[in-house]
Chain A
Amino acid sequence: MKVGIPRGLLFYRFYALWKTFLEELGADIVISPPTNKLIIQRGLTYGVEEICFPVKVFLGHTHYLKEKVDLLFIPRMVSFCKGEYNCPKILGLPDVVRSLFQIPQGKIIDDEINMRDKGILGWRQGYINIGRHFTSNDKKILSALQKAEKAHQDYQKKLKEGFFPDNLIDHRPVLQPQKEKVLLLGHTYLINDSHINMGILQKIHTMGYSIITTDMVDERKIRSALQTIPKPSFWTISNEVMGSALYYIQERQPDLKGFIHLVSFECGPDSLVGELIERWLKRERRSIPYLRLEIDEHTGEAGLVTRLEAFVDMMKWRVEALESNLSSSRPS
């Protein structure tokens, strides 16, 4: 049976898990190609105007796959952390796909994976429900899940070591580490889709900075950093973004020169969480510059480059100003 996985949204996070799990169950996997102009065009044509850009891209990938496969794999990732949610758009994603493309009920694997109340039991139950599309043998499903979780751990370990999904999925060359670092905040589907972010990873790297992303920060450090604010948000990914930002605000690493926050224009969670990060940065460490880069289908590459270059200049000025004690800003 041919199963299609659209290359968008949570794909970059669960690539290893989903791939191993489905392959263990005997499915033939088709992954849509890296985002290109045509896919984006399709997504824009069929998508709802107000939905955020990554979802539109996801719709484009789904459109690419829908005639080529027997089953579309769009699990409803309600929550993958206890007590938290994902963004409503991810919660309703299978339904949106079904309505917009008129896909019949049975052609989408849209079983709910919900760890919000039940924790790991909800996770396991979700995958068992998915597995039942392929086999009625629960034991086989559980052993497949175990293997998949193992693969997921390895994948995450690689990400922690500083590899990007790009290197692991498409085997692109690894970026060499540099002396100075920049913290690149944002959702994994924005940072790792080099077409929609216009190769920001490469660009920052050629400007002479190596990149830290949320994926590279230890989960426990994120959680303990989150304790310092009155109430963490209820979106897992945004919490991770906020937690890594807070962690690096407290950590005061001297080689970390700036924060770049990559957001898509209509991202709901990031509109609030981004504000919080910005304000916290202003309160606690004014000496670190912060850049908020908004991306949507109208973003031009030239504009992005200009803003990045200006930001790099600013980071350098801050350093010079601090070194010569001519502080143009109030150092914390």
Chain B
Amino acid sequence: MKATFPHLAHLNVVLEVLYPALGVEIVPPPPITKKTIEIGVKLAPQNACFPMKVTLGNFIEGIEKGADTIFMAGGVGPCRFGYYGQIQRIIIEDLGYDVNFVLIDSPRYGWKKFFSSLKTMTGGKFSLLQVQRAVSLAWKVLRFVEDLEKTSRSLRWRVKNATQLDALIEKYLVQMKKIEAVHQFEKIRDDAFQEIDALEKLKKPEPLKVGIVGEVYIAQEFRVNFNVEKLLGDLGVFVDNSVSTAEYVLNFLPFTRSWEKEEAWKLAKPYLKRFVGGEGIDTVGSTVRYAQQGYDGVIHLYPFTCMPEAVAKGVVTQVVKEYDIPLLHLAIDEHAGEAGLVTRIEAFIDVLEMRRQQKQKKEFYKIESR
């Protein structure tokens, strides 16, 4: 069995640690490129959301690289994500590829199916202890990768040489792929943060702060969203991303939601009273939180025609009015062009800069007139 899986930002690092530890041979799909997107767009239904098209492209490229098994997750709705796998399986079947599509779905659709997919996905022959060990290592790697991304976001505006930062992160991600045990992991982690701390930083005045909210795939997958985070960092903006894969996974399990997520849900309640699928409610809640924390602006990233985010977009207008926080909606699909996106973001940052200056002016005169 040679398995392939969809890309989601740096999730491949985690899976490349997890599966060898479980004894499953994997074929990581090639990185997302224009070609991946083209394949996906050609095969997927025209109005399906963008993540489905890109992941379908991943599968096809993975199969062409030699994979004979596909790992994919399902869901219970109401977001379309839960039905991706079914449609993708049918499309791949119709194309005539002979692959085993392993879809892990909620136990709601049958415990037997659930356990049999789980068994395939964890290598089958292994003991529970080994599975547990591998998963806990992979979990640590996931946390580390997300920490690394977070540091990169929050440091980019003030490091002297941003390419150095990128190179460092790339280097440690590659190293991380090769680890096999916990002690190796800890060494690499400590080295990574030490080296990043040692990078030369510039003294700069307080930066503009921008939060990113939105759909889990588009807000994270830098090869699809034209690397918005990097772009903002290069414009001298401090970036925070409210979306995280680890949180997304925890959300599926009972009672493991982090307090941040709980808080976001609570903050969203006055505007959106219930879960509407996907990250709809998180988008609203995180926008409120960014506004309360004094961020200068929020960028909302989502795939075009995403249902939960369309609801969030309607609801969030009220938040924007109440908190007076600028919000830029960026819908991404195969037709999005980089130049247009960059122009919009630059204009948005200019607006934020102007607002800040006006605010400072007002405060200055207030003090003068006293």
A residues at B contact (CB < 8 Å)? 47-48, 50-52, 76, 78, 83-89, 91-92, 94-96, 98-100, 102, 110, 112, 230-231, 233-235, 263, 265-272, 274-276, 279, 282-283, 294
Contacts and interface: CB of A to CB of B under 8 A. Distances in A.
B11 interface: no
Contacts of A85: 76-78, 277
Query: Among the interface residues B74, B78, B273, B275, which one has the most CB atoms of the partner chain A within 10 A?
Result: B78
Interface string B73-95: 01011111011101101110010
A92 B280 contact: yes
B94 A279 contact: yes
B301 to A, nearest CB: 13
B293 interface: no
B311 A272 contact: no
Contacts of A76: 273-274
B311 to A, nearest CB: 4
Given A269-B80, A272-B87, A92 B311 contact: yes
Contacts of A294: 47
Given A85-B77, A234-B77, A95 B271 contact: yes
A234 B276 CA distance: 13
Q: Select the residue from B275, B280, B305 with max chain A CB neighbours within 10 A.
A: B305
Given A50-B305, A95-B273, A98-B318, A231 B105 contact: yes
Contact of B47 (A95, A234, A265, A279): A265
B313 A50 contact: yes
Nearest to B318: A99
Interface string B97-115: 0000000010011000000
A50 B105 contact: no
Contacts of B331: 50
A200 B280 CA distance: 34
Contacts of A269: 80
B28 interface: no
B238 interface: no
B84 to A, nearest CB: 8
A88 B78 contact: yes
Nearest to A233: B83
B26 to A, nearest CB: 24
Given A50-B331, A267-B47, A271-B46, 7 more contacts: A50-B306, A88-B78, A102-B318, A112-B273, A266-B47, A272-B80, A276-B86
Contacts of B309: 50
A88 B277 contact: yes
A234 B76 contact: yes
B278 interface: yes
B272 interface: yes
Contact of B274 (A91, A102, A276, A279): A91
Choose among A85, A94, A110 the residue with the greatest number of B CB atoms under 10 Å from its CB.
Answer: A85
Given A230-B89, A234-B83, A268-B80, A112 B274 contact: yes
A89 to B, nearest CB: 6
Nearest to A50: B310
Contacts of A95: 271-273, 311, 314-315
B314 A51 contact: yes
A323 to B, nearest CB: 30
Contacts of B313: 48, 50-51
Contact of B314 (A99, A268, A274): A99
A268 B271 contact: no
- The 4 A-B pairs with the shortest beta carbon distances in the complex, nearest first, are A234-B77, A92-B311, A271-B47, A96-B314
Contacts of A87: 78, 307
A274 B49 CA distance: 14
A96 B87 contact: no
Nearest to A269: B80
Nearest to B278: A88
7 contacts: A50-B304, A85-B76, A91-B311, A94-B273, A100-B314, A271-B49, A272-B83
Contacts of B276: 88, 91-92
B273 A88 contact: no
Nearest to A263: B47
B307 A276 contact: no
Contacts of B275: 91
A112 B277 CA distance: 15
A96 B79 contact: no
Given A88-B280, A234-B77, A266-B47, A96 B90 contact: no
B324 to A, nearest CB: 15
A22 B238 CA distance: 53
A101 to B, nearest CB: 10
A86 B47 contact: no
A88 B314 contact: no
Nearest to A96: B314
Nearest to B281: A92
A294 B45 CA distance: 13
A234 B78 contact: yes
B318 A89 contact: no
Contact of A235 (B77, B84, B280): B77
